[in-house]
Structure 1
């Protein structure tokens, strides 16, 4: 059995053969850049107006209007002192313009323009290169693309981006007691839920489960299902069958399929019987069958591996510290990840901390972490990871 820190270090130290691909810009949300992006030109590429108003030559309160410039107009106006042109937001400002005055602070009588106040030099002019200069680093390799960065890349004239590929993920749930939702169940059976929770968590963080299957607690069936999945997947996630009971066949089945165990069992609660292994460039997680344990292990351990495989520069959910709304004593015999809810006035440790209890996780939005024997007073800061 290893510590939480040792388990995380093992995951983060794995060396991958990263795969890259070129994707259309509209398809790269959530992908990580596989190369730096440099500005191909100054941005803005030319001095332009930040307002609808008038571009002014010289600093006065009265001008003669000599024309109009719309956004996209490529004309080159040359103004003389005392001249003004009607101009619109984003339009190219004449080279010798001193300022742009917004239209709300002007009055027009024929071709005469009167200002309510004296303009200041450079007012409302977006200068060439003010945001980015040609050759400047725009986004760094490993940056995970979000809507804003997609818009930024589009503004650079790029319609394709080189990114790290995401892993092909398969999932297998095991258990004789499991029944698919929507089907009748008998006494002693339960509805299978882990595949829905894990698939949802994958999607929440920008990944997809390419294939799901459910198998009985049978060694040969489990072994064959793992063999078939590992023909095409990059990461295999199993749920259940990883403990030491008479019907837990996952660990042996993985060994039979040539998977090298990297660690098995972590000194934590919930999720002690967690398995992590590797075969070549493929990775395997065998998660506990209890719903809260399974989902907790996904957030803490599976997610960082998926992010590392995908070229992310930052791995795992970040830690935050929030004041506790009440006293808390950790009576568990291991360091614990606790289902919690964060609100504006702090964090609450929820009832229903059992590893089979998922309602408290559904009602919460965080995992709070407590060390073995650690106690808290109301108002003490407690470490948390936001999970929704």
Structure 2
């Protein structure tokens, strides 16, 4: 058995070979860049107006209007001293323009423009190269593409981006008692739910499962199912069958399929019977079958590895400290990840901490970490991983 810190360190220390691919701009959200990106030209490429108004030549309060420039116009207007043109946001400013005055501070009579105040040199003009210059690094390798990133890449005319590939993930659930939702069940059976939690959690963070399989508690079927799943994935997530009961065949099946155990069992609650192994460049997590345990182990251990395999520079859920709303004592005998909710900057430990209880987890938005035997008073700070 290992500690939480040891388990996380083992995952962090895995040597991996990252894969890369070319991704269309519209499908690159959440991917990490596999190369540095440099600007192919100045941004903006030309001086342009920051607002609707008038481009002015010289510093006066009265000008002669001589034309108009709309956004997208390519015409090159040369102003004489004391002249102005009507101009719109984003339009190219005449080369010898001194300033742009917003239209709200102007009035026009016939072809004469009057200003309510004196203009200032460079006012409301977005200068060429003011954001980026040609050849300047835009984003470094490893940058995770968010919506503003995609907007900037699009403004640079880049339709294809070089990114790190995301790992292919397969899911196996085990258990004779499991029935798919929507199908009839008999007494003693339950509806299978863990695969939906795991696939949903994958999707929550931008990952997808490639294949999902349900296997009965049978040694040969488990061994064959794992063998097949390993043929088409980078990461295999197994739910159930990893404890020490008479019908728990996952660990022996992994051994027989050549998976090297890296750790088995973690001193924690929930999720003590957690397995992590490796076969060449493939990784396997065998999660406990109880729903809350399974999902907790995904958030704490599986997610960081998936992000590492995707070229992310930092891994795991965002962690913060919040004051607790009430007194609490951890009497579980192990360090615990507790279902919790954070509201208005304070954390509340929820009822229903049993490993099989998923409703409280669905109502919460955080996992609060409380050490073995730790006694908390109202207002004490608690480490929390935000899950939504």
Shorter-chain-normalised TM-score: which range? over 0.9
Aligned to 2:377: 377
Q: Per-residue CA shift, 1:241-272, capped at 9, x if unaligned?
A: 00011110000000000000011111111001
Q: Name the CA distance, whole Å, in 2 between partners of 1:224 and 1:110.
A: 86
Q: Name the CA distance, whole Å, in 1 between partners of 2:328 and 2:274.
A: 27
Aligned to 2:12: 12
Q: Name the CA distance, whole Å, in 1 between partners of 2:338 and 2:137.
A: 41
Gaps of 5+ in 1: none
Q: Name the CA distance, whole Å, in 2 between partners of 1:2 and 1:75.
A: 71
Aligned to 2:271: 271
Aligned to 1:111: 111
Aligned to 1:51: 51
Q: CA deviation at 1:345?
A: 4.5
Aligned to 1:177: 177
Q: Within 5 Å, which residues of 2 pair with 1:17-96?
A: 17-96=17-96
Aligned to 1:294: 294
* Secondary structure in 1 matching 2:247: coil
Aligned to 2:189: 189
Aligned to 2:386: 386
Q: Name the CA distance, whole Å, in 2 between partners of 1:192 and 1:166.
A: 27
Is the CA contact 1:325–1:345 (under 8 Å) kept in the aligned structure 2?
no
Q: Name the CA distance, whole Å, in 1 between partners of 2:121 and 2:69.
A: 20
Q: Within 5 Å, which residues of 2 pair with 1:331-346?
A: 331-346=331-346
Q: Name the CA distance, whole Å, in 2 between partners of 1:7 and 1:138.
A: 36
Q: Name the CA distance, whole Å, in 1 between partners of 2:345 and 2:161.
A: 42
Aligned to 2:281: 281
* Secondary structure in 2 matching 1:225: helix
Q: CA deviation at 1:326?
A: 0.9
Q: CA deviation at 1:139?
A: 1.3
Q: Name the CA distance, whole Å, in 2 between partners of 1:256 and 1:146.
A: 42
Is the CA contact 1:31–1:144 (under 8 Å) kept in the aligned structure 2?
yes
Q: Name the CA distance, whole Å, in 1 between partners of 2:161 and 2:244.
A: 47
Instruction: Tell me, yes or no, if structure 1 residue 126 matches structure 2 residue 126.
Output: yes
* Secondary structure in 2 matching 1:148: helix
Q: Name the CA distance, whole Å, in 2 between partners of 1:172 and 1:209.
A: 11
Aligned to 1:251: 251
Q: Within 5 Å, which residues of 2 pair with 1:281-360?
A: 281-360=281-360
What is the TM-score of this pair, normalised by structure 1? Answer: 0.98
Aligned to 1:220: 220
* Secondary structure in 2 matching 1:46: coil
Q: Name the CA distance, whole Å, in 1 between partners of 2:77 and 2:264.
A: 73
Is the CA contact 1:340–1:361 (under 8 Å) kept in the aligned structure 2?
yes
Is the CA contact 1:68–1:86 (under 8 Å) kept in the aligned structure 2?
yes
* Secondary structure in 2 matching 1:90: coil
Gaps of 5+ in 2: none
Of stretches 138-147 and 98-107 in structure 1, the one that deviates more from structure 2 is 138-147
Q: CA deviation at 1:97?
A: 1.1
Aligned pair count? Answer: 388
Q: Name the CA distance, whole Å, in 2 between partners of 1:217 and 1:225.
A: 11
Q: Name the CA distance, whole Å, in 2 between partners of 1:119 and 1:375.
A: 65
What is the TM-score of this pair, normalised by structure 2? Answer: 0.98
